[in-house]
Amino acid sequence: MSSSSSSPTHADVVTKRLVLRPWTVGEATAVLGDIRSPHWADDFPAEGDRVIAGLFDQHPAWLAAYGHRLIIERDTGLVVGSIGLFWPPSEGVLEIGYGIVASRRGRGYAPEATQALAEFAFTAPDVHTVSANVELSNPSSVRVLEKAGFHRWATEESTAKFRITSPDHDRR
């Protein structure tokens, strides 16, 4: 992967069942304008997707290679959620957030996407940890992170803090 054509600039992250593809400005505009796409699951976008789409103007780096992505079912080609890294990293740590539309929950998509994007994050320069904060009132999201290989490292009031560290980081 030394050629410029294989750089991660806008590379899709592909898993067994999903494609994680960077958002386009047009897709964000469609989400914010309630313009339906035939490539979306019937219940996409969810509220979290609308919130993220509305923040791209303030955070243009979220549209770059290590930013936010749409979660696409490989079998159907439909967008079923979104996942993202909140760029830029802080002292080598990136935060991750994710959401799957209700019609596709319970299929293991969220852990599959979360694990894949965390592994992709470790290819970014100087990133060694991916973190997530989850409300304890959302046990499904806690399970997503556990299944994706994240470990709880702190609990504060109503929030659990999870993280996963690059295997290379421990050997430095």
Structural domain boundaries in the chain: 4-171
pLDDT in tens, the chain (172 residues): 333 334 445 689 999 999 999 999 999 999 999 999 999 999 999 999 999 999 999 999 999 999 999 999 999 999 999 999 999 999 999 999 999 999 999 999 999 999 999 999 999 989 999 999 999 999 999 999 999 999 999 999 999 999 999 988 755 4
Q: Give the helix ranges, DSSP H, for the chain.
A: 25-32, 47-55, 109-121, 139-147
> For residue 102, what are the contacts with CB-CB under 8 A and spacing of at least 6?
43, 46
Domain 4-171: what homologous superfamily? Gcn5-related N-acetyltransferase (GNAT) (3.40.630.30)
The model's pTM is 0.91
